[in-house]
């Protein structure tokens, strides 16, 4: 695995426009939501290692040299975007570490950066977005306790929010994943977006019990009897998601349905960039792609609610554990960069935070 450095350009709004915002940003919600469906459907058909997608950067470079040059130019523009692995220091205590992760079970994004495994093994505490992800029964109970957060509890179904043509596309995409439309009719659009944005082979791995990296680290920490600190509960995350306007959720779903193959290609490109040590291009690429979709949702409220506000909560709740030193913190990579990203917020709390090359 190559050492990963990144300049992850505000994935929140740009991945939204490409239809991958839920996958990139809300892995915990996605993982929990899948539990409710995969327990009742057939094993999803596995595909090749690339999940049916292809890397599109070479095509962009050939077809639109100016656009590709703009992607490269923006790659270096983001504050605190030069790394996914950071060292956190404060006088008098052992150093801690912060890792930005990509929340898929694809083997190519499951390896830790160079030397990070040693830092994880030495840590006395492990900090993750939610420790509930390690217990599927506990996660399922969180969903059951608040069905209104993931399901329409009134007379509505997803059919009330999409056109007949979009319904045909949705049904076909779900069928490819072994999920009947009838099984998701009462589910909120953001949950369904998760199913159709994730490639069929990713759902196949998940239905077979595969973990994503944060999940694996949480389980490993529990097995090693480390102190595991969850920064949020699943209900808190679900509450935040449910507070967003329905039009934002529907726009995200419609964006995915417009071009299923492009969604697969973007997912494959993201994985290739992250795995090859070039994830700095992910954000600018997503911004480039957003220009292709004139009907994309306005994601300012999404960024404020699901990224910025959560960044502040995470920094506040992690501070006590980081103050004792010897912690290993793993959260989604989009939470790290920017003026209100975790790197900046932790520095404001008096920590020295430096990239690990």
Name the band, by pLDDT with cuts 50, 70 and 90, for residue 21: very low
Give the pLDDT confidence score for residue 15 in this predicted structure.
34
Integer angstrom CA distances of residue 59 from 56, 65, 68, 289, 333: 5, 10, 10, 13, 26
Measured distance CA(18)–CA(15) in Å, rounded:
5
Name the band, by pLDDT with cuts 50, 70 and 90, for residue 27: very low
pLDDT exceeds cutoff 90 at 321? yes
Integer angstrom CA distances of residue 266 from 57, 88, 269: 9, 32, 5
Integer angstrom CA distances of residue 111 from 9, 105, 108, 182, 216: 22, 10, 7, 37, 11
Give the pLDDT confidence score for residue 292 in this predicted structure.
63
Give the tens place of pLDDT for each residue, 293-310: 655 445 567 778 888 999
| Average pLDDT estimate for 21-33 | 41
| Average pLDDT estimate for 260-270 | 85
Angle at which helix 234-242 crosses helix 27-38, to 10 degrees, equals 100
- Spell out the alpha helix ranges (H) of 209-306: 213-223, 234-242, 246-258, 260-275, 282-290, 300-302
Of the ranges 13-27, 164-178, 182-196, 339-353, which is most confident? Answer: 339-353
Of the ranges 15-29, 39-53, 227-241, which is most confident? Answer: 227-241
Measured distance CA(69)–CA(71) in Å, rounded:
5
Q: Dihedral through CA 38, CA 43, CA 47, CA 51, nearest 10?
A: 0
Q: Which residue has the higher pLDDT, 212 or 159?
A: 159
| Token digits of residue 102 | 């990509």
For residue 345, give the 3-state DSSP assignment: helix
Residue with tokens 């697969």: 264
For residue 331, give the 3-state DSSP assignment: strand
Q: Which residue has the higher pLDDT, 247 or 278?
A: 247
Give the pLDDT confidence score for residue 196 in this predicted structure.
79
Q: Which residue has the higher pLDDT, 204 or 327?
A: 327
Strand order in the sheet with 85-89: 227-230, 125-128, 327-332, 96-101, 85-89, 352-355
Give the pLDDT confidence score for residue 298 in this predicted structure.
52
Give the pLDDT confidence score for residue 234 in this predicted structure.
83
Give the pLDDT confidence score for residue 50 in this predicted structure.
56
Q: Which residue has the higher pLDDT, 154 or 284?
A: 154
Give the tens place of pLDDT for each residue, 58-115: 999 999 999 999 999 888 888 888 888 999 999 999 999 999 888 888 888 898 988 8
pLDDT exceeds cutoff 80 at 313? yes
Measured distance CA(273)–CA(277) in Å, rounded:
6
The answer to whether 95 and 89 are in contact (CB under 8 A) is yes
Domain-wise residue ranges, the chain: 11-355
- According to DSSP, residue 190 is labeled H
Give the tens place of pLDDT for each residue, 170-194: 998 888 777 889 888 998 898 888 7
């Amino acid at each position: 695995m190559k050492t990963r450095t990144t300049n992850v350009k505000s994935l929140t709004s740009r991945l939204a426009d490409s239809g991958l915002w839920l996958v990139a940003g809300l892995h915990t919600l996605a993982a929990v939501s899948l539990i409710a469906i995969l327990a009742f459907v057939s094993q999803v058909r596995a595909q090749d290692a690339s999940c049916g997608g292809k890397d599109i950067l070479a095509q962009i470079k050939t077809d639109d040299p100016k656009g590709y040059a703009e992607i490269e130019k923006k790659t270096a523009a983001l504050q605190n975007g030069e790394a996914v692995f950071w060292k956190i220091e404060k006088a008098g205590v052992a150093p801690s570490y912060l890792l930005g992760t990509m929340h898929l079970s694809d083997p190519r994004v499951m390896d830790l950066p160079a030397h990070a495994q040693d830092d994880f093994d030495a840590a006395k505490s492990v900090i993750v977005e939610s420790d509930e992800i390690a217990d599927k029964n506990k996660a399922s109970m969180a969903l059951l306790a608040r069905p209104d957060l993931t399901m329409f509890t009134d007379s509505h179904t997803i059919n009330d929010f999409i056109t007949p043509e979009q319904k045909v596309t949705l049904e076909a995409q779900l069928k490819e994943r072994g999920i009947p439309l009838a099984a998701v009719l009462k589910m909120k659009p953001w949950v369904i977006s998760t199913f159709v944005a994730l490639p069929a082979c990713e759902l196949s791995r998940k239905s077979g019990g595969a973990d994503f990296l944060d999940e694996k680290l949480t389980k490993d920490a529990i097995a090693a009897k480390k102190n595991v600190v969850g920064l949020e509960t699943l209900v808190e995350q679900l509450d935040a998601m449910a507070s967003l306007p329905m039009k934002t959720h529907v726009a995200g779903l419609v964006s995915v349905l417009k071009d299923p193959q492009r969604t697969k290609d973007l997912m494959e490109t993201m994985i290739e960039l992250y795995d090859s040590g070039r994830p700095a291009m992910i954000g600018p690429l997503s911004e480039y792609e957003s220009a292709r979709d004139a009907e994309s949702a306005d994601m300012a409220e999404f960024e404020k609610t699901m990224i910025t506000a959560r960044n502040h909560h995470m920094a506040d709740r992690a501070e006590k554990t980081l103050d004792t030193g010897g912690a290993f913190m793993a959260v989604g990579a989009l939470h790290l960069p920017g003026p209100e990203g975790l790197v900046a917020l932790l520095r404001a709390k008096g920590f020295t935070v430096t990239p690990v090359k």
